[in-house]
Amino acid sequence: MNAIADNPLFGHDRLPSFDRVKPEHVEPAIRALLPTMASALAELEKTIAPTWAGSIPRLTALSEAIGYAWSVINHLMGVRNSPELRAAHQAVQQDVVTAFMSLGQSVPIYRALVALRDGGEWSKLDETQRRIVTANIRAAEHSGVGLTGAARERFQAIELELAELSTKFSNHLLDATKAFALELTDPGEIAGLPLSAKRAAAHAAARAANREAAADAAERGPWRITLDGPSYIPFMEHAQRRDLREQLYRGFVTRASSGELDNQPLIDRILTLRKEKAGLLDFTSFAELSLAAKMAPSVTSVEQLLGELRTAALPKARVELDELTTFARARSGDAALTLTHWDMGFWAERMREERYSFTDEELRPYFALPRVLDGLFATAKRLFGVSVRAADGESPVWHADVRFFRIANEAGKDIAAFFLDPYSRPADKRGGAWMDNALDRKRLGDGSWRLPVAYLVCNQSAPVGDTPSLMTFREVETLFHEFGHGLQHMLTTVEHLEAAGINNVEWDAVELPSQFMENWCYHAPTVLGSPAQPGLARHWQTGETLPRALFDKLIAARTYRAGSMTARQVYMSTLDLELHHRYVPGGPESVIAFQRRIAASGTVIPPLPEDRFLCGFSHIFAGGYAAGYYSYKWAEVLSADAFGAFEDAGLDNQSAVEQTGRRFRDTVLALGGSRHPLEVFRQFRGREPSPKALLRQTGLAS
């Protein structure tokens, strides 16, 4: 059998063969695909024509095979990481980056695209085609196509090193998160923890010892508390032992900041290289380079939005801190208690429980994952007219927990599919939640369509024994969020792959459909059910619907500590922007000192002296949010205003909701990157976006 032909990383028009992909397939596949791409590039450079047919489709086709293989490899780096896969990835990463740089820096291709833009055929192209050509020209310019000689060589060296540093940053963070744990044996050490958290901690201890957990392990122990979200968050919110909360918190904010896993040198180097890269492209800062391809028109416009939100949020956050301090002093009996970082979650949860008379643990039994999925899919059908059905077994998966689903339109025809990887696996899966493309929508040679397929990845609490995954409400919101991203990818109607789904969508607009979907977690018919659809909240044992009184408390608590939450997001967005716009790497001020200075004017409690939060800020150092973390708040303005259209139509008016939902589907979800996001928003909303809905929704409106 031909080992190359049998490599599961080949075959870019089909679903990945995850049951067959092994680390040893990586290097042979990439080594075989690189020369093919290089040969196709050389041929294209000789024959490219300044026409649509003679350029863009051929340009896309030449990198599809290697792009598919590299995408599968990088996906597995996030969800099934291993030393063997890391070694294979590292062995070929620089060659892959070099190959794509050669493509991005191709002068013949760039000249042909510029000639197309400036030539007679331009008037014959539709708006989608024009956006694609324009985006390719801009990408080439940002890839250094205009550089020559030493400047070009330096740019290429920077790109190679940045790719390596990003991977190393991510691996360091994963390893540092895995390396820390509180091993607890005394029941007093886990006092206050809800049963679900104790059960999960006991099973984590058993797994670490390579044994089965005893039936009474939740109460008898031992227990293992880690820095992974489903373990860390409940402990910080419920553990009565303040000293252990402190220990865990310090472990969290110093992750990947010492020894062999220290990310601090990587941060300094990344910022230095990004600044140098921007300078080579004649931008004064990396932030300006980043925003040149985004919806926000300038750094100043982003600063203006963040400033408005900060002005609204910080005074409220200070009042919230005073309220929490007063509450904690009264309930603890310590009239001199000064709250610090490891107290905030604990006392905020106590005050929320008292103020709104419910706990997260009361909610969990009503949010079992299978039922939540039923409610989520019913919501998608009601709003967008699409049906989701389980298709487990129809595609190979990378882990036994992963599920596969198909989506059909109103006529019952399959139009998309997605993988769902819901549970936390600290040993080999990075934290957080994300959506990514598995396959893009594409017209095939026989005239049929390759259907879009998405990866939806979460890190929620896993089932324990016979108990299903009982979700926190925040985990429910996260699932809706990622499904919103997936819907934009899967419900696209754009005919050109280059702008289908989330392709070619400006980065600071890509969070619109995801944040929009979170709103339905607070909509009574969605959660509790109605004559038109089942609700997503039913007790996993009794089948009882979430009591309306409890749901009303949940709604009332939506804006609880909204000032503090908004201030934190604005602080992180500001820090990211300032690091990439005004910070001088290698200058007299260290990056940690710079962070502390930004925090002084943007937080109500300054970071600890040893705080190394930046060492775990993977969004901007190992993800796509560099000088773009503000996108969450930018898009939140759009998403809140978009949901406002449903409020205006009448949330209790089934017909109006369906009509508005179809309009959202046919604009925001369908048009993808074929139009500027502001135009797409106008098509849906009928006007420019306004921040009023966001301020009202978060309780920050005056």
Closest Cα partner for 236 from 322, 350, 329?
350
Helix crossing, 229-238 with 195-208: angle to 10°? 130
In whole angstroms, give the CA distance from residue 470 to residue 221.
21
Burial of 123 per CB tally in 10 Å (0-12, 13-18, 19+): exposed
> Do 30 and 69 meet the contact criterion of CB atoms below 8 Å apart?
yes
Which sign does the torsion angle of CA 458, 419, 386, 446 carry? Answer: positive
Q: Which helix (H) or strand (E) holds 273?
A: helix 264-280
Greatest Cα-to-Cα distance within the chain, rounded to the nearest angstrom: 80
- Would residue 544 show up in a list of annotated catalytic residues for this protein? no
SS3 388: strand
From 237, 349, 475, 482, active-site residue: 482
**Tokens 């919501």 belong to which residue?**
379
According to DSSP H, which parts of 333-386 are helical? 341-356, 360-363, 369-384
Strand-strand pairing, 181-184 and 223-226: antiparallel
In whole angstroms, give the CA distance from residue 580 to residue 582.
6
Rounded to 10 degrees, the C-alpha dihedral 435/515/675/70 comes to -10
In whole angstroms, give the CA distance from residue 650 to residue 657.
7
Q: How many CA atoms lie within 13 A of 108 on its CB side?
A: 14
Which sign does the torsion angle of CA 259, 261, 262, 268 carry? Answer: positive
As annotated, the active-site residues are 482
